[in-house]
Each structure stands twice: as structure tokens, then as C-alpha cells.
Amino acid sequence: MQTQTNSRNYTEHFIEGQHVRLNDLRSIAERQGLKNQYLYKEDVPEYPRPEFYVSQLKHDTERRGLRGIRKDGGFKDPRGGSSDPCHLSLVWWSLAVGPEEIQAAETRLLEETYPDRVEEQAAEQESFLWKFASSPAFKRRSRLGSYRFRFPLEEVLTAYSEQFCSGAPPIMRVFKTSLYKQEVQYSVLVHSPANQRFFSRFPLLPDDDLDAVCTYRDGHFIWRPEAMCKTHSYELIRGPEENQMDAWGPMKHPEFYVWDHVAVALHVENRQVLRFDPDQLRENLRFCWWDNRTIISKTHFDHFCRAHSLLRRLWPRYSWLEKEPPLRPT
């Protein structure tokens, strides 16, 4: 496990070329004498291990970043042009998991756990998985800024293919596992086939490995979270006789644990931009309130009225459209 200070000045412990399961990550960290008050907890209440099928990506930014995206007509590495030869020029996205994906994952989990359940048992099953989706990976609020671009995965990959791969399918690889104070990030690297030799040290992202944290198949990522809760206010209760699951809680004294998520890094050359039509950018833009804990200062977040005013200036064409796309809070 290597250590560095990332671009946001946070200490990052990372392992390249692997998506390391939580138990293995804990063992590696222990052997290296790494201190972490969350990773080593053993009294964490039982929680579900679903599979999420994700076909949306999100990119959060603040006021300055939004202005840059509008000016450039798309997304680029904000550190583009770095003189560091070890620096990869990357555009970062995260998986966007919403209520529909959570409900679909719950249905799959129940069907796989209780293949013999009857129709009456399925009808009596109450929704429970959303109670465990308490980490920032599932929140509508943002840690990175008031402006969230949420794009269909297919649109992002198509744009990347046309602009960076001469129309060929991009290559996906297992980039790294990163451990922060309470966060585990599994990163996927996306690059052009022209750079295969340069990135060959990273394994190809699997499409059929049932034990992998993240795979890609049929136009969506399959994410199997290792720790979806962060704040464990509920405990998973299984009812094998009823072929049902439930969430017991909320607990008076919840447990705090690490949480994990998947990030997608698109490789671009220095100063190059992953471009989208201005209308496409505006239509996929949403307003976000700040989360309780943020990565950037809360002074860089905007209130809704200021955000709406800024968008009117950045996309003035919409001021005279018959129907303006709403800046919906996410």
C-alpha cells in the first residue's frame, strides 16, 4: 500500500491495479501499522450486500468549476498541463445511484436469497434497503459543490469514444483502491485503445466476475458495495421462514464505519476537453444542497436563488425559451 497527498490535500493510502475487498484491505492496513478508527471496527451490525446495476454517472462541482465547464463546453482535468510526468490527466465521475436502482437491487437481493418464496410472501415484503443506503454514495446532497451533472453512462462513453477513441469502444481497467479516513474508493480507469501499452499494468475490468466489487456489462456498471451505510442505524434481520428481510432500528447509538463507492476516471490528454452540446450540459444539470460534511468549504456552496441567477447568465438562451429546463434540487 502506497501513500500520497491527493489534489485536495487529503492523505490517500492506495493500492494500484486492484479492487481490494474490505477484509483484505483491513489485513493489509494492519500489517503496515496503519491507524484507522473506522476500518478496524468489529462490532458493526449486520447489513445487506446487494448488487446495484448503474447506468448513470454524476459529476459534482462548485461555482468556479461550473463556469469553467460552460466556458470549455465540457469537462477537463482542472490540473491539465501539470509538469509532473507521473500525473495522469483525468476527468472524474461517480456512479449515480438513485431510488430506482435501490429498489431494483432490493428485488434482486430477495429473489436470489429466497428463490422459493411465494407470491404472497413477496407481496408482504416491506421495502427496507433504502434504510441502509446512508452513505454519501446514495445521498442527493453533495460534498463537492452545488452543481451536479448527471449523465446517462451511454452518453458519456459515446462522447468519449467519438472524441478520444476514433469511434472505437473505450477500454476499462481496474485502476486502484484508495483508503481515506472513513472512505474507500474503488476507481475504474477508462482510456483509448491507442494507449493500451501505456496502461497495460492495470488489469482489464471484468464483465463476469461474481466476486468483483465492480464489473461492466451490457451498458451498465454492476457495483457490489462492501460498506453501503457509513452510519449504521439499522441492523439487517432475516426471516427464513417468511422468506423476508427487514431493517431493525433506528438504533439509539448508531455505529460509524467506513463506506465505499465507485469512481470512474476518464483519461484525457493535457488540456483536452470531453465536450458536450451546451443544451445537453444544461439539461443534465441539477442543484444540490450541501451535505453535513463536505470536502470543500461550505462557503463555496450556493443557495438556490444564487444558483438560478448564475445559470441564467451562463445559459442566457434559456431565458427566452418557452419552457426553461428546471434547476431541480437533487
- pLDDT at residue 76, rounded to an integer: 94
203 upstream amide cis, omega within 30 of 0: no
pLDDT for residue 79: 79
Residue 188: band (very low, low, confident or very high) from pLDDT cuts 50, 70, 90: very high
DSSP symbol at 296? S
304-315 pLDDT, tens per residue?
Answer: 889 889 998 999
pLDDT digits (tens, 9 = 90+) for 37-53: 899 988 899 999 999 99
Instruction: Report the C-alpha gap between 170 and 127 in whole angstroms.
Output: 37
Residue 220 CB neighbour total at 10 angstroms: 17
Average pLDDT over residues 157-182: 96
pLDDT value, residue 80:
67
Three cell numbers, residue 74: 465540457
pLDDT in tens, 253-274: 999 999 999 999 999 987 899 9
For the stretch 51-88, pLDDT in tens is: 999 999 999 999 999 999 999 999 999 876 544 445 78
C-alpha span between 118 and 204 (Å, rounded): 40
Q: Residue 247: pLDDT above 50?
A: yes
pLDDT digits (tens, 9 = 90+) for 206-226: 998 888 999 999 999 999 999
Number of C-beta neighbours around residue 20 at 10 A: 21
pLDDT classification of 293: cutoffs 50, 70, 90: confident
- Pick the closest to residue 276 from 265, 284, 268 (CA basis): 284
Using CB atoms within 10 A of its CB, is residue 278 exposed (0-12), middle (13-18) or buried (19+)? middle
Residue 159 has pLDDT above 70, yes or no: yes
CB 165 within 8 A of CB 193: yes
Q: What is the share, in percent, of the chain residues with pLDDT greater than 90?
A: 74
Q: Are strands 183-191 and 259-267 parallel, antiparallel or unpaired?
A: parallel
Calculate what percentage of the chain has a pLDDT beyond 70: 94
Average pLDDT, the chain: 90
Mean pLDDT of 160-175: 97
State residue 330's pLDDT score: 54
Residue 172: name the closest of 243, 265, 298, 71 by CA: 265
For residue 270, what pLDDT is reported? 79
C-alpha 233/C-alpha 57 separation (Å) is: 27
Task: Look up residue 42 and give its three cell numbers.
Answer: 468489529
Q: What is the pLDDT of residue 208?
A: 87
- Note the helical H segments in the chain: 22-31, 63-72, 99-113, 119-124, 153-164, 278-283, 304-314
**Is the pLDDT score of 295 beyond 90?**
no
Confidence of residue 319 (pLDDT cuts 50, 70, 90): very low
Q: Say which residue, 292 or 186, is predicted with more confidence.
A: 186
Rounded distance, CA 170 to CA 274, Å? 14
Contact status, residue 219 vs residue 53, Cβ threshold 8 Å: no
Tell which wins on pLDDT, 299 or 307: 307
